[in-house]
Amino acid sequence: MVRIQKAIMHHAKRASGLGLATLVIAACASTPPSLLERDPWLAPGKTTLAAVQAADARAIDAAPLSADLPTLIQHLLADSPTIAASQAEYRAAIERVPQASTLPNPVLSYTYLPSPVETRVGPNEHRIQLNQAIPFPTKLIAGDSAATALARAAGAVHDRVVRDEVTRLESLYADYYYASRALEIAAQHVALADALLAAANNKFAAGRATLFDLSKAQSQRAQLGYDQLRLTEQRLATLAALNATLGRPPAAPIAPPAALASVAVALTEDQLLNLALGHQQELRELDARIRAADAMVLMADSGWLPDFNIGFMYLSNGPARMAGVADSGVDAYGVMIGLTLPLWFGTNAARSAEADAMREVVLGKKKAHLDRLRAELTDAVFRERDARRVVTLYDTQLLPQATTAMATAEQWNAADVTRMTDFLEARGVYYSFSLARERAVADQFKAVVRIEQLIGATLAPGVEVRP
């Protein structure tokens, strides 16, 4: 009962509760066009292979999307079916708010008496009755609070869906960058390997190279051919996944990105956790669900309180059989007042216990989420720092050393017929380092994206375009 009294006082203080929900509903009043209007082939029975292929052809014939990441994100926000579905769920949750605080529909009933009962003023022939149930005020308060909290939770869920789709897009964008850059690197080394293989054949025919040199050149060329095939298929698979995120056909063209922006995360784990506690969408959702659970506890506690019922009755009477009866045939009116009797104590107690248990469920989920969040932040920070260190290592030491080694081996090869293997080995090392460096660049970008996903905010400062 104390909780009920506090709820009434709290609701009186927050008279803007329904007002806030009304504002939200007004803001969402201009609903976006239905997906069915844009893609009629989504209707049941119309999703045929021919319809899907026709839609694919229309999208593929369009101009390729720009490789600019902000442009892709704008396209995602406008056309992603996942985001559109989430937005529709959010609108549905908002529309439940006014339903929760509205009185039940009144009941209008009519009774016809085929065998009228004779009364002093005449027989009762017709009866019309109107009843209105009125839940105890705390039940309406609890329903409004729960629906409003769940609408806010749905808003946080929608924000999380948008965030996760943007994160997925950015991660695939990094993989698309790597596959495109790796193909360029492989093509450059294929040209070099072809020249080296021709030189090895000529030297071997002239007796200036060993069979091992020729075999080494042939195996490197074969490996590069396999790498080209694998990277081509990887690029197509990444493009298909990228297009799926954007709501486009798998083969729809997207220009390959030329570079990735590099963001060095200088914040500590505690600073990142503090950002997450203030911005992360999952935590906002869980907090809203805890408030909804509190409201459901109030609703369950209110089960011990009676509901009210008011009504109006009109009774139509016929003329009395006896002549000279005063008020003969006069119709009767009546007002009714009633209330429910919550006598089933076991049911009410179980309902309250269930509501308390569901509140503990949400609290437990929040605690578990916080524990996972801290561990995942630690892992993401490690991956970002490790990838950044690897990129620095390749840029400042390994690639320059491999370049020097390849130049030296080339000089040795020109001066000594026994040095061709050294040059082939140095070229292979440089090629491996080049691919590994681009992979580290993509991994560092994806690690930053993962950190942004965990904290629910963007780490914009310090952006550097890394060629």
In a domain, 201, yes or no: yes
- pLDDT of residue 10 exceeding 60, the answer is no
- Over residues 90-119, the pLDDT tens digits come to 999 999 999 998 899 999 999 888 777 677
Read off the DSSP letter of residue 39: -
Segment among 62-76, 118-132, 384-398, 406-420 with least mean pLDDT: 406-420
In a domain, 121, yes or no: no
- Over residues 139-188, the pLDDT tens digits come to 999 999 999 999 999 999 999 999 999 999 999 999 999 999 999 999 88
> Residue 195 has what pLDDT?
77
Give the range of the structural domain holding residue 216, as residue numbers without chain letter: 2-30+62-102+135-305+342-466
More confident residue, 160 or 59: 160
- pLDDT of residue 27 exceeding 70, the answer is no
Q: Which residues pair with 117 in a beta bridge?
A: 124
> Residue 415 has what pLDDT?
59
Q: 330: which 2 tokens?
A: 């006069």
Give the SS3 label for residue 336. strand
Contact 3, 297 (CB under 8 A): yes
> Residue 156 has what pLDDT?
94
258, 263, 384, 443 from 465: Cα distances, Å: 10, 9, 16, 15
Give the SS3 label for residue 114. strand
- pLDDT of residue 359 exceeding 80, the answer is yes
Cβ atoms < 10 Å from Cβ of 285: 24
More confident residue, 253 or 21: 253
Whether the model pTM is above 0.85:
no
**Residue 399: partners with Cβ closer than 8 Å, 6 or more residues away:** 430, 433, 434, 437
In a domain, 265, yes or no: yes
Give the SS3 label for residue 265. coil
pLDDT average, residue stretch 197-209: 71
> Residue 62 has what pLDDT?
61
H helical segments located in 206-327: 211-245, 269-279, 281-301
> Residue 43 has what pLDDT?
77
pLDDT average, residue stretch 200-212: 70
Contact 453, 280 (CB under 8 A): no
Burial class of residue 191 in the structure, from the number of CB atoms within 10 Å of its CB (0-12 exposed, 13-18 middle, 19+ buried): exposed
> Residue 327 has what pLDDT?
61
How many distinct structural domains can be found in the chain? 1
Confidence of residue 274 (pLDDT cuts 50, 70, 90): very high
Amino acid at 311: G
Cβ atoms < 10 Å from Cβ of 273: 19
99, 127, 241 from 108: Cα distances, Å: 21, 11, 57
More confident residue, 296 or 417: 296
Segment among 163-177, 344-358, 402-416, 447-461 with least mean pLDDT: 402-416
> Residue 425 has what pLDDT?
80
pLDDT average, residue stretch 285-305: 92
Give φ, ψ of 114 to 5 degrees: -65, -25
**Residue 350: partners with Cβ closer than 8 Å, 6 or more residues away:** none
Cβ atoms < 10 Å from Cβ of 219: 12
Indicate which CATH number applies to the domain containing 154.
Answer: 1.20.1600.10
In a domain, 36, yes or no: no
Best-predicted range by mean pLDDT (118-122, 221-225, 387-391): 387-391
In a domain, 320, yes or no: no
Nearest of 348, 278, 29, 6 to residue 145 by alpha carbon? 6
Give φ, ψ of 48 to 5 degrees: -100, 165
Confidence of residue 416 (pLDDT cuts 50, 70, 90): low
Q: What is the average pLDDT score of the chain?
A: 82
- HEC profile of 123-151: EEEEEEEEEEEECCHHHHHHHHHHHHHHH
User: What angle, rounded to 10 degrees, do the helices at 81-100 and 16-27 form?
Assistant: 150
Confidence of residue 7 (pLDDT cuts 50, 70, 90): very low
Residue 160: CA count within 13 A, CB half-sphere:
18
- Over residues 363-372, the pLDDT tens digits come to 999 999 999 9
Best-predicted range by mean pLDDT (196-205, 227-236, 412-421): 227-236
> Residue 178 has what pLDDT?
94
Give the span between the Cα atoms of 347 and 414, in whole angstroms.
94
**Residue 305: partners with Cβ closer than 8 Å, 6 or more residues away:** 4, 136, 138, 139, 342
In a domain, 76, yes or no: yes
Read off the DSSP letter of residue 461: T
pLDDT average, residue stretch 218-231: 88
In a domain, 112, yes or no: no
More confident residue, 266 or 28: 266
Amino acid at 4: I
> Residue 133 has what pLDDT?
93
Confidence of residue 316 (pLDDT cuts 50, 70, 90): confident
- Over residues 234-262, the pLDDT tens digits come to 999 999 999 999 888 888 888 888 888 87
- pLDDT of residue 325 exceeding 80, the answer is no
> Residue 33 has what pLDDT?
67
Confidence of residue 206 (pLDDT cuts 50, 70, 90): low
Give the span between the Cα atoms of 204 and 193, in whole angstroms.
16
Contact 173, 256 (CB under 8 A): no
In a domain, 35, yes or no: no
Give the SS3 label for residue 345. helix
Give the SS3 label for residue 207. coil
Segment among 84-98, 139-153, 281-295, 408-422 with least mean pLDDT: 408-422
- pLDDT of residue 354 exceeding 80, the answer is yes
Please give the torsion angle defined by the CA atoms of residues 165, 171, 174 and 176, in that order, rounded to the nearest 10 degrees.
-70
pLDDT average, residue stretch 270-293: 93
Read off the DSSP letter of residue 254: B
H helical segments located in 302-398: 345-393
Q: Which residues pair with 109 in a beta bridge?
A: 129
Give the span between the Cα atoms of 132 and 401, in whole angstroms.
87
Share of the chain above pLDDT 70, in %: 82
Q: Which residues pair with 108 in a beta bridge?
A: 130
> Residue 367 has what pLDDT?
95
Amino acid at 278: G
